[in-house]
Structure 1
Amino acid sequence: MNPPSLVPQIAARPSLKDFFQGVGLLGRAFGLIFRSGKLFLLSALCALVTLVALVGLVALLWRYTPELVGSFFARPEAWYGKAAWYAVLTLTFVVLLVVGANTVPPLLLAPLQDPLSETTEELCGGPPSPPFSLGGFLRGLVTGIAHTLARIFFLLLGLLVLLPLNLIPVAGSILWTVLGSLWSMMWMAGEHLAGPMTRHLYPFAEVRRMLRQRTALCLGFGAGVYLLLWVPVLNTFFLPVAIVAGTLLYRGLVAAGQLPPPPDPDPLLK
Structure 2
Amino acid sequence: MRDLAAGMRYLGRGQRWALGHGRWFGFGLLPALLALVLYAAALTALAFYAGDVAAWATPFADGWDELWRDSLRGLFAVLLWVGALLLSVVTFTAVTLVIGDPFYEKLSEQVEESEGGAPPGQDRPLWREVWISLCDSLFVLWRMLLFTVPLFFLGFLPAVGQTVVPALGFCVSGFFLTLELVSVAMQRRGIPVRERLRMLRTRRALALGFGVPLVLLFLVPLVAVVLMPGAVAGAALLVRDLTGENERRESRYGDEGGQFGPPPGPGPAQAQAPARAQAPGISAPKTPGSQDPWPHGGSPR
TM bracket, shorter-chain basis: 0.5 to 0.7
- Taking CA–CA contacts closer than 8 Å with sequence separation of 6 or more, which of the two structures ends up with the larger relative contact order? 1
Where does residue 31 of structure 2 map in the other structure?
46
Contact 1:50 1:237 in 2 (8 A): no
Instruction: Find the residue that maps to 1:221 and give its secondary structure.
Output: helix
Measure how far apart 1:234 and its partner are. Answer: 3.4
Q: 1:50 to 1:25 in 2, by over 3 A?
A: farther
Pairing 1:195–2:184 present: yes
Contact 2:6 2:209 in 1 (8 A): yes
Alignment of 1:1-270 (within 5 A): 16-36=1-21, 38-56=23-41, 59=44, 95-127=86-118, 136-166=125-155, 168=157, 171-172=160-161, 175-253=164-242, 254-257=244-247
Contact 2:19 2:230 in 1 (8 A): no
Q: 1:61 to 1:247 in 2, by over 3 A?
A: farther
Rg larger in 1 or in 2? 2
Contact 1:53 1:104 in 2 (8 A): no
Contact 1:46 1:237 in 2 (8 A): no
Measure how far apart 1:189 and its partner are. Answer: 1.6
Instruction: Find the residue that maps to 1:126 and give its secondary structure.
Output: coil
Instruction: Find the residue that maps to 2:182 and give its secondary structure.
Output: helix
Contact 2:93 2:180 in 1 (8 A): no
Instruction: Find the residue that maps to 1:201 and give its secondary structure.
Output: coil
Length-normalised TM-score, structure 1: 0.64
Q: 1:237 to 1:57 in 2, by over 3 A?
A: farther
Contact 2:94 2:180 in 1 (8 A): no
Instruction: Find the residue that maps to 2:191 and give its secondary structure.
Output: coil
What per-residue deviation string (whole Å, max 9, x for no partner) do you get for residues 188-247 of structure 1? 122222331232122445433432332222111001221221345432133332221111
Instruction: Find the residue that maps to 1:102 and give its secondary structure.
Output: helix
CA RMSD of aligned residues (A): 3.7
Unaligned runs of 5+ in 2: 59-78, 249-301
Q: 1:153 to 1:136 in 2, by over 3 A?
A: same
Measure how far apart 1:121 and its partner are. Answer: 1.7
Measure how far apart 1:183 and its partner are. Answer: 0.6
Length, aligned pairs only: 219
Instruction: Find the residue that maps to 2:219 and give its secondary structure.
Output: coil
Measure how far apart 1:174 and its partner are. Answer: 6.0
Once residues 209 and 181 of structure 2 are traced to their aligned partners in structure 1, the CA distance between those partners, rounded to angstroms, is 13
Contact 2:154 2:165 in 1 (8 A): yes
Once residues 156 and 22 of structure 2 are traced to their aligned partners in structure 1, the CA distance between those partners, rounded to angstroms, is 51
Q: Give aligned-pair identity as a percent.
A: 29
Length-normalised TM-score, structure 2: 0.59
